[in-house]
Every structure is written in structure tokens, then in C-alpha cells.
Homo-oligomer: A and B are copies of this chain.
Amino acid sequence: MTDEATRRRASMNATFAGRFAAARDRLGPLVLGADPHAPLLGAWGLGDDADGLERFADIVVEAAAGTAGAIKPQSAFFERHGWRGIRALTRLVGEARSAGILVVLDVKRGDVGSTNEAYAQAYLGPGAAIRSDAITVHPYLGLAAMGSYVDRAHDAGGCLFVVTRSSNPEGRPIQGAITGRGSCVAQQVLGDIGAINARLAPGRIGPVGAVIGVAAGASELDLAAASALFLVPGVGAQGTTPGDVARMFEACPGRVLPSASRSLLAAGPDPAALKGAVASLNAEFRAALRLVCSGTG
């Protein structure tokens, strides 16, 4: 590589999109969903308490290291055990990042003004209490109110995944409502994401991504135009296959972060068995996303 190419590569890797691309090329696009719900803790022989969460954290970080490019802890299952649960989450996130695993913290926060600034300080950028590489947020109070998250994510080489279209049918009435611009709410959110990304990262994948569930009708969204990464949760558990994901994102297969939790965690608690499940599904996704399109986004 020339010096210029090296510099450009280093600069790309400093963005979340660049770091994800490197992980995807090395291991695959799969995100390991870390959802320590009560039945899972029981099935793994762990207590349904903070100690159980601490053990869960050890196991999933060990399993993810070297097999998953990213991990997605679901905050709810840690909040359920109060501040001790959050302490376990904090350790999980820190150790995962130390092991070179991208952390997408699924918190789905969203408020207005200085409250968003506080949430952003909690989870993004230097000095954050639970510093993550990316978090999920709600758009109901307006994407334009999310400036604090966007700025901190962009400055820190992080990413903000905005809940845009869910796979659950209960989400249709709001997400399918028609806005003043004549598009559905989900498309308008996607358009707003694209506008932010075009401003902050012209010609590249920007720091604002979208959470998109695989569901009928979602193909009406103009996914490629948003210059965004797509977090696609619930793969496996809800009957969604890698092929379904590949078909939905055929215009931009390299931008997809499919996330699976239950279907993978069922292989635990043996870390080696978990690693096998992650590696196997990662291979399926690499194959499926290439089958549709050989590009990388």
C-alpha cells in the first residue's frame, strides 16, 4: 500500500462503518445478541440474578472473541437486575471492546434536549460510563432532536442506530402512517438518516444507521439511498433466514449487520459450542449475502 492508501485505510477504520467492514471481511457480518433472559440463565445453570449476569458476561465475551465482529447486549435484561445488573453490563461492554469486538448496546433511548445529551454522554464517546461503539435510539420525538447522539457518535467513530421499521405487526400503524412529505414514517426516518449521513460523510457510509426488521412490505423502503448501516435483529428466532435478509438488502448487502440471539445462545453455555454456532451462522450470512450480490455495499 502507498502511504496515502495506508492513511486512507486508517482513517476509514476510525469510523464505525470502517471498523465494521474490517470485522465483516475477517469474520462475517453477524452480531451476537446478548439477551440474558430468565429462561436462558436457567438453561445455562446460572442464577437469575446479578451473579448470573456476571457469569453470562464471561461466557459470551469468550464465545464472541475471534468469531463475532460485534455483540449486541440488550440493556433490558441487565436493568431487570438493577444497578448490580448494570455493573455486569458495564464489565461485559468493556471486556468485549478490549477484545476488539464492536459493541452495539441496545438501549433504545430517546428524549429531547439536554436529556439526550445526558444519554449520549452515558453511552458514546470518551468518558462515557458504559462506552459503546453504537447504541439504538427511538425516533418518536424527532430525528432532528437527536443531534447530541449524532455528534458524539460521529466524533468518536461510533454509530447511532435509529429504530426505523420493526418486524412486529403492532408497529405498522405508526411506522406506516403518511407524513406531510407524502412518504410513510419509516421512509421519512430513513430519508432523514440519509440527509445526516450525506452531510457528515459525503460519499461514504455515515454514522447514523437504521434498525430494520425483516418483514413483508419493508422492501418498499429505499434502503440504499440512506448511505447507512442496517442493524437487522431477530434473525433465526422469528423464522427469518439469511436468505430473507439477503433478498431484502440485495441493493446493499455489505451494509447489513444481522443480529441473532436466541438461536445462537441455545448452543451455550459451552463457549466452544457457542463459537461453533456463531461461526456457522456467520458463514451462512457470508454465503447468502454474496449469492445475491458480490459487492460489499
Contact = CB atoms under 8 A, between A and B. Distances in A.
Interface of A: 35, 37, 74, 76-77, 79-87, 89-90, 108-116, 118-119, 121-123, 129-130, 138-145, 163, 166, 168-181, 184-185, 188-189
Copies per assembly? 2
A140 B142 contact: no
Contacts of A119: 76, 79-80
Q: Taking chain A's interface residues, is the majority helix, strand, or loop, or is none over half, making it mixed?
A: helix
Contacts of A174: 139-140, 142, 174, 177, 179, 185, 188-189
A121 B82 CA distance: 10
Contact of A83 (B90, B118, B163): B90
Contacts of A79: 118-119, 122-123, 129
Contacts of A139: 140, 174
A37 B142 CA distance: 22
Nearest to A164: B140
A37 B76 contact: no
B168 A145 contact: yes
A82 B168 contact: no
Contact of A141 (B37, B77, B145, B163): B163
A80 B121 contact: yes
A141 B129 contact: no
A83 B84 contact: yes
A269 B121 CA distance: 24
Nearest to A179: B177
A118 B36 CA distance: 10
Contacts of A141: 163, 166, 168, 170-171
A171 B145 contact: yes
A94 B198 CA distance: 47
A176 B80 CA distance: 34
A168 B35 CA distance: 34
27 contacts: A74-B115, A76-B111, A76-B119, A79-B129, A80-B121, A82-B86, A82-B90, A82-B122, A83-B83, A83-B84, A83-B90, A86-B86, A108-B109, A108-B110, A112-B166, A112-B168, A112-B171, A138-B140, A140-B175, A142-B168, A142-B169, A142-B170, A142-B174, A174-B177, A174-B188, A174-B189, A177-B188
